[in-house]
Amino acid sequence: MRPLAERMRPLTLDDYLGQQHLVGPDAILRKAVESGRTPSFILWGPPGVGKTTLARIVAHQLQRPFFTLSAVNAGVKDVRDAIEKSKGQRFFDQPPPLLFIDEIHRFSKAQQDSLLGAVEEGVVTLIGATTENPSFEVIPALLSRCQVYVLQPLGREDLIHLVNHAIATDEVLKNKHLSVKEYDALLRFSGGDARKLYNILELTANFQTGDAPMEITDELVARLVQENLTMYDKGGEYHYDIASAFIKSIRGSDPNAAVYWLARMIDGGEDVKFIARRMIIAAAEDVGLANPNALLMATTAFQAVQAVGLPEARIILSEAVIYLATSPKSNSAYLAINTALETVRQTGNLPVPLHLRNAPTYLMKQLNYGQNYLYAHDFPGNFVAQEFLPDEVAGKPLFAPQANTAEEKIRQFLAGRWKEKYGY
């Protein structure tokens, strides 16, 4: 039997829950569908808010041929095959078929380029779905030919309605005599993802024995979910647990564990760009100034995996991960910006000292803007001691070099210039 999430998938815009700014009366997407002149568009929103469902409803209401691809396992050849099939389905002046690409942000530039001609010539109407900001993940030429519709997270009342509606109307659940005493665990473990919510509800309902009525409580849901984590969580909490283990292994300088968790993510179908982004963060936060080249390595790795994609990207990621894990570690830059931000929040918008202000006009010079500023390059060693902070926080140390070879050189450099001022 089909999963509950599939059984409960709505077939019309009237049955679709949420996103009233797109599908409500007189909303932009509804009007486009009702007119029959739907442009190519991209649906951007968090997991489980109905992007795929909305694409299917549009296809159903427009009654056009509908082709689907998943960017997780489709290549350039698959895209071209789908375009050729679309050409074969188009007759005379009929509107073009719809091509739905799930997780379009995972497509490489070459894969996205292969779509351009067909979209531009009207061979297909493209519908893309993404959880990532399309401004960063979709090439500009393709993005300029698409409308972008933003889907909002489902609210608590929406999610509760989904639970109650499924219990009352689903062909299986309505015969199970279920009642919900507490919703908090259902909503918490689903994380606002309707698909996960249905999976958890179905998992809980399957626990029922015989025909006896069953009351759904937070304790019951929490216990069943913890016992069956992988049954419902393919990309949520467990996904972030593995990513957390990956980062902590890099931070802990264990290349063996870091490569293991990297392999777990790749084998689980994780987006290589997600992995590479985490590595850029780790390079800045955990390696930091102890080895500034780590940030260059991580950034280059991100660019490289975008260019080549899997399976070869696994080698690039492995090299970068091992480099990060075996680099000396420092979080001094991370601590410095956090301390600075906290200082700003505590002291407010302090005025810029007059000698640091620009004075492009006569009036500003009359007000002493820029007066007594000392130009560092006019002094020996290109340095002269002067105050660069507002008086209220003058002398406050925000950056503290840590005990590693690279930052010891930084400490000595600063101590030679600032003496005792910042405690270097």
Q: What pLDDT does residue 232 have? A: 42
**Residue whose pair of structure tokens reads 């179908």 in the numeric block:** 269
Q: What is the DSSP letter of 382?
A: G
Taking 50 as the pLDDT cut, the residues of the chain under it are 231-237
Q: What pLDDT does residue 362 have? A: 78
**Burial (0-12, 13-18, 19+ Cβ within 10 Å), 190:** buried
Residue 417's contacts (CB-CB under 8 Å, 6 or more residues apart) are 383, 385
Residue 178's contacts (CB-CB under 8 Å, 6 or more residues apart) are 167, 205, 208, 213, 214, 216
Q: What pLDDT does residue 296 have? A: 96
Residue 47's contacts (CB-CB under 8 Å, 6 or more residues apart) are 131, 193, 195, 196, 235, 236
If we measure between CA atoms, which residue out of 392, 389, 398, 391 comes closest to residue 423? 398
Give the 3-state secondary structure percentages of the chain, helix then strand then coil, rounded to 5. 55, 5, 35
Q: What pLDDT does residue 249 have? A: 92
If DSSP codes are grouped into helix, strand and coil, which group holds residue 54?
A: helix
The Cα 392–Cα 395 span in angstroms is 9
Dihedral over Cα of 98, 99, 104, 109: its sign: negative
**Residue whose pair of structure tokens reads 């492009």 in the numeric block:** 360
- The answer to whether the CB of 29 falls within 8 A of the CB of 57 is no
- The answer to whether the CB of 205 falls within 8 A of the CB of 178 is yes
Q: What is the pTM of this model?
A: 0.56
- Between vectors from CA 419 to CA 416 and to CA 420, what angle results, nearest 5°? 150
Give me Rg for the CA atoms of the chain. 28
Q: What pLDDT does residue 368 have? A: 83
Q: How many CB atoms lie within 10 A of CB 32?
A: 18
- Between vectors from CA 145 to CA 142 and to CA 149, what angle results, nearest 5°? 95
- The answer to whether the CB of 328 falls within 8 A of the CB of 405 is yes
Q: What is the DSSP letter of 71?
A: T
Q: What pLDDT does residue 190 have? A: 82
Q: How many CB atoms lie within 10 A of CB 375?
A: 8
- The answer to whether the CB of 14 falls within 8 A of the CB of 162 is no
